[in-house]
Amino acid sequence: MADLQKCREAIDCIDNEIVRLFEERMEIVKEVGNYKVKTGKQVYDKERELEKLNTLKDLAGNDFNQHGIYELFTQIMSMSRKLQYGLMDGKTENSPFLSLEELPITKDSKVVFFGEAASFSQQAMEEYFKEDIKSFHGTTFKEVMEIVREGKADYGILPIENTSTGGITDIYDLLYEYDNYIVGQHILKIDQALLGLEGATIEGLKKVYSHPQGLLQCSKFLDQYDYIKRIESKSTAASALKIVEDNDLTKGAIASVKAAKRYGLKVLKENINFNTANSTRFIVITNRQIFLKNANKISICFELPHKIGTLYNMLSHFIYNNLNLTKIESRPILERSFEYRFFVDVEGNLNDPGVQNALYGIREEGSKFKILGNYLA
């Protein structure tokens, strides 16, 4: 029977040697990195690494060890790349993003919000901008994106995330599709209300209209009235406008109390959302690549090879640069079944060296990388 203490001592000796060899290896990696900096050679050589991994794997004596060696050296090579990215330190290409002291907003600035008048997006816009701006609405998320991209508005405001229902997936897809950039965010407390015409009652309703998010946020309330049909509309405010136009006592809408006042509707029930802390995060977008000097949140997206460990390796760039990842969302890539595009929020500023190193590594190792914006959270 083996002596446990002797086995542990033997392992300690081996581990100490591994540490010594690792540090020796990283010193050589640093020399290689300096050479790449001077010659402009790319840090990530995919074919070289794959060849090396397979060679090392074949040196192991059994399947278990082969798998272990492959995983071990995958991580060692990943750490080596991160060390070399750090050596770049400003030697990468200049960012196209312009840093500003404040956003250019004047009384002549045009802002497009999602939904009809008295929508939650309009409320968020009014709270964020405060200034006397020129505003108008777009009826769909895509229309808002197109208006901003074409320069018909200086800024747009859209909902991206709700505390009850999560991310608004259409917005993520549009951020990837359009060359618009996030320059700000605003969190708005959302209190949904059931609205109807004067003389309407909850018991007399047969249909209720709202944006899909509104219906979801109030699903538990609506479950009590299974005879009421739920019908999706373009926005909460649009649903309020519809029941006014239809002039039907059997139709209700889920929208804000502000919408009820705007369209002359009766509030049948206030605060019907199931989450009392129900809030929506709105983003402010522009077609210019700008960010505030005191911005502290970055949104990016990228795609990865559909292989084991690629997401872990990509996210580890944030760990090695001491950056805090605050959110990750995935969306399907339509042309590739069951493969996904990743959207990530991380704390930081585009001028920070750690941020630059992390983003450089992700750009090198991923594909279709895009900075969606740097803004003040």
pTM over 0.85: yes
What is the average per-residue pLDDT within 31-59?
A: 91
pLDDT of 238-255, one tens digit each?
Answer: 999 999 999 999 999 999
pLDDT of 278-337, one tens digit each?
Answer: 999 999 999 999 999 999 999 999 999 888 888 988 998 999 888 999 999 999 998 888
Residues known to be catalytic: 280, 282
Percent of the chain residues past pLDDT 90, beyond the cut: 83
| Whole-number CA gyration radius for the chain | 27
Phi/psi for 217 (5° steps) reads -65, -20
Tokens of 151: 């320069």
Average predicted confidence (pLDDT) for the chain: 94
Residue 339, C-beta contacts closer than 8 angstroms, at least 6 positions apart: 303, 306, 332, 333
Residue 207 has pLDDT above 50, yes or no: yes
pLDDT of 211-234, one tens digit each?
Answer: 999 999 999 999 999 999 999 999
- d(C-alpha 254, C-alpha 215), whole Å: 7
Helix (H) or strand (E) holding 27: helix 4-39
Task: Identify the pLDDT of residue 90.
Answer: 52
- d(C-alpha 340, C-alpha 318), whole Å: 20
Residue 91 has pLDDT above 60, yes or no: no
- d(C-alpha 85, C-alpha 64), whole Å: 32
> Environment class of residue 316 by beta-carbon count within 10 Å: exposed (0-12), middle (13-18) or buried (19+)?
middle
Residues for the chain: how many in total? 377
Domains and CATH numbers, the chain: 15-91 (1.20.59.10), 95-188+281-377 (3.30.70.260), 193-269 (3.40.190.10)
pLDDT of 169-194, one tens digit each?
Answer: 999 999 999 999 999 999 999 999 99
- Picking from 265, 239, 263, the residue whose alpha carbon sits closest to that of residue 253 is 239
Task: Identify the pLDDT of residue 194.
Answer: 98
What is the average per-residue pLDDT within 84-96?
A: 71
- Picking from 305, 325, 301, 300, the residue whose alpha carbon sits closest to that of residue 315 is 325
- pLDDT grade, residue 92 (50/70/90)? very low
- Picking from 175, 190, 215, the residue whose alpha carbon sits closest to that of residue 331 is 175
How many CB atoms within 10 Å of residue 109?
Answer: 17
